Amino acid sequence: MKQPTEKQDIKIKDLKVCYDHTVVIPSMNLSIPKDKITMIIGSNGCGKSTLLKSIARILKPSQGEILINGTEIKKQAPKELAKKMAVLPQSPTVPTGLLVKELVAYGRFPYQSPLGGLKAHDLEVIDWAMESTGIMDLKDRFVDSLSGGQRQRAWIAMALAQETEILVLDEPTTYLDMSHQLEILQLLQKLNQENKTTIVIVLHELNNAAKFADHIIGMKDGKLVFEGAPKDVITAENLRVLYEIEAVLQISENGEYPICTDFELLK
């Protein structure tokens, strides 16, 4: 919908994040590429979601900077930041009795004045978001009546309605079966390719991450273990460090990404 003249990028400098007195991310420097799909992988408790919540300004870092287009996020008003970056948390809950079109309309909140209603452009964007995610025929359904895959599409449509250049998602395929996981990841890939949306995803499924990512970040104990293109960084050696497994890998039939075909715990 929106054709920005300058793309937003994300840079992380000397980031330290703590829960109470426990250091989760001791020090991290990272640059997330524009216009690409970046996947963050690693074992449970490695700091993946903490990193994502810090980028989304849900968590306040102990030190360091997170910059979007060169400006620290803590210096940006929430509404202004919401025009640049949409965030979909893990397993969001929705009030009962909310229609799909009403949920998607919430994405226009950053553009609303206190007394203003939805304008013609807002309605156009809401329709575009529902069309893009394939849920237009569900717009008058209650969100809590949808299947897992349909509901996740509705949440993504709400995020799209924010008209941002950056989309941040925390485990968007959790609790979905294989076909619905594929459905959501193909949708995100389509949005990235058609709209040049920068997408950052925390994901558990290694093979899905390798298949759909342009850039993969591997984390362990709050530290960066590796980053790069899947073919370059998803190696038996790196998986040994990241997950403490001995993995068997092969290249996909189209030669574009690695596949883990078997694995065992290190002895």
**221-245 per-position pLDDT tens digit:** 999 999 999 999 999 999 999 999 9
Residue 66 sits in a domain whose CATH number is 3.40.50.300
Q: What is the pLDDT of residue 20?
A: 85
- Opening angle at CA 133, ends 97 and 141, nearest 5: 25
Residue 122 shares a structural domain with residue 75: no
Q: Within a domain: residue 243?
A: no
Residue 108 shares a structural domain with residue 59: no
Q: What is the pLDDT of residue 5?
A: 42
Residue 204 shares a structural domain with residue 80: yes
Q: For 129-156, what is the mean pLDDT?
A: 93
Q: For 108-119, what is the mean pLDDT?
A: 84
Q: For 75-96, what is the mean pLDDT?
A: 88
Residue type, 15: L
Q: Which domain holds residue 171?
A: 1-84+165-183+196-234
Q: Which residue has the tokens 């397993």?
A: 91
Q: What is the pLDDT of residue 211?
A: 97
Q: Within a domain: residue 265?
A: no
Give the span between the Cα atoms of 165 and 160, in whole angstroms.
9
Give the span between the Cα atoms of 146 and 138, in whole angstroms.
9
pLDDT confidence of 3, banded at 50, 70, 90?
Answer: very low
pLDDT confidence of 4, banded at 50, 70, 90?
Answer: very low
Residue type, 184: I
Residue 63 shares a structural domain with residue 95: no
Q: Within a domain: residue 260?
A: no
Q: Within a domain: residue 5?
A: yes
Q: What is the pLDDT of residue 91?
A: 76
Phi, psi of 200 (to 5 degrees): -120, 125
Residue 29 shares a structural domain with residue 75: yes
Give the span between the Cα atoms of 214 and 230, in whole angstroms.
7
What sign does the CA torsion over 42, 46, 49, 55 have? negative
Q: Within a domain: residue 75?
A: yes
Per residue in 120-130, pLDDT (tens digit) is: 999 999 999 99
Q: What is the pLDDT of residue 7?
A: 61
Residue 178 shares a structural domain with residue 74: yes
- How many domains in the chain? 2
Residue 74 shares a structural domain with residue 178: yes
